[in-house]
Amino acid sequence: MIVEHIDVIVEEPSMEAALRALLPKIIGTTAFEIYPHQGKSDLLARLPDRLRGYAGWLPDTWRIVVLVDRDDEACEALKAQLERAATTANLTTRSTANDRCYRVVNRLAVEELEAWYFGDWEAVREAYPRVPATIPSKETYRDPDAIRGGTWEAFERVLKSAGYFAQGLAKIEAARAIAANMSPERNLSRSFQALRRALIEMASTR
């Protein structure tokens, strides 16, 4: 069965801005829409009702992706919460389906969207040329999904030290600028690649 449309549920507008640039590079001409919330707590609070609403009308050719930041939570517990919301709404998830007839894919950005920027430093340098090219070689940043002390705070410090965003990181502006230059296949973030693989699978389903 061809997947004609993907709805993506995210926790904030900066993720929406990044995905609007990234999704066409990953899923080609497959239609999509993105629904941002006012943070993770807002998304998690609204998700059960939203999924129950989908269950009443979702076409067989549509899929739902729920994407939240891990932050400092345990991956297993957060993923289990997302899975419960879907199964309670009688929507099959990719994790529980035996074939490709699932309706919902739950994914985590580890630990935040900014990890994906560290995973494609070439894209960051295209948007902000003064940032050092050596950042990915430093032990602190070598594994984008293991940066400690807050990924967006680390990203903000790097950009500020290069003379950008003296008044604080403009997250939506940065998301648009960097995502426009990102090459999905080269990203070193494992959480990004997990999302990319799931999206490719959906877009190629027949």
**Does the pTM of the predicted model rise above 0.85?**
yes
- Nearest to 17, CA basis, from 36, 44, 42, 40: 36
Pair 165, 128 in one domain: yes
How crowded is residue 20: how many other Cβ atoms within 10 Å of its Cβ? Answer: 17
Considering the domain architecture, whether residues 69 and 165 belong to the same structural domain is answered as no
Residues 16, 92 within the same domain: yes
| Residue 175 sits in the same domain as residue 191 | no
Taking the CA atoms of residue 155, residue 158, residue 159 and residue 162 in that order, the dihedral angle to the nearest 10 degrees is -170
Same domain, 102 and 141: no
Output the average pLDDT for the chain: 94
pLDDT digits (tens, 9 = 90+) for 150-160: 999 999 999 99
Verify that 82 and 130 share a domain, yes or no: no
Residues 28-56 have pLDDT tens digits of: 999 999 999 999 999 999 999 999 999 99
- 167 with 198, same domain? no
Do 74 and 19 share a structural domain? yes
Range of the domain at 130: 114-179
Tell me how far apart the alpha carbons of residues 77 and 147 are, in angstroms, rounded to a whole number.
Answer: 20
Same domain? For 122 and 196 the reply is: no
Same domain, 195 and 157: no
Q: Which of 85, 102, 101, 84 is nearest to 93 (CA)?
A: 102
Domains in the chain, number: 2
**What is the CATH classification number for the domain harbouring 195?**
3.40.1400
Tokens of 90: 């009688």
191 in the same domain as 130: no
> Which residues, at least 6 apart from 77, have a Cβ–Cβ distance to it below 8 Å?
none
Range from 11-15, 97-101, 195-199 carrying the lowest mean pLDDT: 97-101
Instruction: State residue 18's pLDDT score.
Output: 98
The rounded radius of gyration (Å) of the Cα atoms in the chain is: 17
Residue 89, token pair as written in the block = 């709404």
Residue 206 has pLDDT above 80, yes or no: no
| 195-199: average pLDDT | 96
pLDDT level of residue 117 (50, 70, 90 thresholds): very high
Residue 205: pLDDT over 80: no
Tell me what pLDDT residue 100 has: 66
CB-CB contact of 182 with 85 (8 Å): no
